[in-house]
A = this chain, B = another copy of it.
Amino acid sequence: MKIAIIYYSATGTNHQMAKWAAEAAKSNGDHDVRFRKLKETAPMEAIESNDAWKKHYQETQDVEIVVLDDLDWADAIIFSIPTRYGNLPSQLQAFFDTTGGLWSKGKLVNKVVSGMTSAQNPHGGQETTLLTLYKSMFHWGAIVAAPGYTSEELFKTGGNPYGFSSDGGVDDLNEQSKTSITHQVKRTISIAESIKGGMSKA
């Protein structure tokens, strides 16, 4: 499988989640994995006004920025993005806004997609951010691989049926987070293998 991990992270939480997703993808079969960040569109003065953001921004300079070909290429896509008032961060939305060409050619059809998110409050966007993502995926004709309650492990990280979500910062992520993320990635890959094996891409 060709698996694209696409994330946006200001201070590192979703970066760590995405790294674990990439690790799970690589250790779960002979897969090609692309680890990509969304292009930062915030002004430098905003970034520099926040030490943690600035530090993370500098530390991840080497991560490749996602391009349209990554979507075209991938069989499965895993997004990891923080909430913005229950919606997607503009960095992801800005990327989506450039996908019209792929969309109109049917190149996004049958992509298998799964999402992870984070919000500062336990009930402040953990659910709705992922549903916002998945709604757009239906427009693409993509197939959503939500974890549901397909593993007992998921109950230990908040029981989010739409995808793993964190209600803390990067320091609050732990082995249990990794376990849930790993399960979600494995399930996504299984679904992608099924879809790729069974469907002719329309």
| Contacts from A to B (Cβ < 8 Å) | 41-42, 46, 84-90, 93-94, 96-98, 103, 106, 109, 120-128, 131-132, 134-136, 138-151, 155, 158-162, 165, 167, 187, 190-191, 193-195, 197-199, 202
Contacts and interface: CB of A to CB of B under 8 A. Distances in A.
Contacts of A160: 121-124
The count of identical subunits is 4
Nearest to A98: B46
A158 B198 contact: no
A138 B146 CA distance: 6
A94 B94 contact: yes
A84 B94 CA distance: 10
Given A84-B96, A93-B89, A148 B138 contact: yes
